[in-house]
Amino acid sequence: MATAGYVVLVIAIVAAICCAIATVVGFRNKSGGLTGSAKLGAMTLAALYTIALAIILYAFATKDFSLKIVSEHSSLDLPLMYSLSAVYADKAGSMFFWGWLIL
């Protein structure tokens, strides 16, 4: 599960870099094709970010303690609702969640 999340985030960072480059070059050259591909890249980035968040939420729901954030902020006794909200308990988790909300 952690590997899948890592792969999704690596693909997302590559998509974000490509999207940023396409945006800058598209606006400088007034190229509608590049700005259109930048919009598609932003939608792809949002989808990848959503998949990564779903993986983290699934890890909390299934009590996958192989992930550091789950092992630090969840327990077997924690009800599902509180376990899912534990994503927000860590600084990295809250930044990740707020980043997803901004998308």
Nearest-angstrom CA–CA distance, 62 and 83: 9
Nearest-angstrom CA–CA distance, 76 and 62: 10
Check residue 34 and give its pLDDT: 82
Nearest-angstrom CA–CA distance, 70 and 56: 8
The alpha carbon of 33 is separated from its chain's Cα centroid by a whole number of angstroms, namely: 26
What is the residue range of 84's domain? Answer: 2-102
Check residue 53 and give its pLDDT: 94
Three-state DSSP at 44 gives helix
Three-state DSSP at 39 gives helix
Number of structural domains the chain divides into: 1
Lowest-confidence pick of 14-18, 37-41, 57-61, 94-98: 37-41
- Residue 95 is encoded by which pair of tokens? 């930044």
Using only C-alpha atoms, the chain has a radius of gyration, in whole angstroms, of: 17
* pLDDT tens, position by position, 58-82: 999 999 998 899 999 999 999 999 9
Q: Which bin fits 26, alpha (ψ -120 to 50), beta or left (φ > 0)?
A: alpha
Check residue 10 and give its pLDDT: 95
- Residue 58 is encoded by which pair of tokens? 């699934």
Specify the pTM: 0.86
* pLDDT tens, position by position, 19-64: 999 889 988 888 788 888 888 988 999 999 999 999 999 999 999 9
